[in-house]
Chains A and B, each alone.
Chain A
Amino acid sequence: AQSVTQLDSQVPVFEEAPVELRCNYSSSVSVYLFWYVQYPNQGLQLLLKYLSGSTLVESINGFEAEFNKSQTSFHLRKPSVHISDTAEYFCAVTQAGGYQKVTFGTGTKLQVIP
């Protein structure tokens, strides 16, 4: 079985400050890792994902996440946040092999303060 832990339910941060949203996972087999973002009153959409290769993955809007196998983590970072980044962020994991059984974390609400 797999699990995902997002310890921070809410993260307030001032505009233009850096932010890190934490994600840890547990799995007995190889995993693929995802970050999804949910803007207010919308469905989730993919922000970035790690499948293989370089452990650092980037999104088109300045977020990045690093896969750390030894620490079983996939933290999301942005060096300078904008008001428009206010949203809820979900870390998710799937296991190699089999079908797409996605396990989501409980989400972290990022509140960017002007």
Chain B
Amino acid sequence: EAQVTQNPRYLITVTGKKLTVTCSQNMNHEYMSWYRQDPGLGLRQIYYSMNVEVTDKGDVPEGYKVSRKEKRNFPLILESPSPNQTSLYFCASSLQGAPTDTQYFGPGTRLTVL
């Protein structure tokens, strides 16, 4: 089954404790992206990647890091989480990152930072 998977689905942590949210896709997509979803704000892009070893900032990159060492994986790293990073996070992928492409989303990771 073609899908985007994220782990963990739910995470409660404390301020300053480094964490990683994994994202993997099995569709051989070139483009991958991370979003955060907050009430009343919709989805905002954190980082994106056009291909292996090619990443760039989205609209709200502060406090996040990413890496793209393999085509299928695109982990999101919070080196020192803060309460304002409490949010619902989605990973997405698309075939080539063209503006006409459909994005395929993972099931989401709900993060709470105390």
Contacts and interface: CB of A to CB of B under 8 A. Distances in A.
A107 B42 contact: yes
A43 B42 contact: no
Contacts of B104: 45
Interface size class of B (residues with CB under 8 A): 20 to 34
Interface size class of A (residues with CB under 8 A): 20 to 34
B4 A43 contact: yes
- Would you call the interface of chain B mostly helix, strand, loop, or mixed? strand
B100 A99 contact: no
A98 B99 contact: yes
A46 B93 CA distance: 12
A73 interface: no
B15 interface: no
Interface of B: 4, 31, 33, 35, 40-45, 48, 50, 90, 92, 94, 97-108
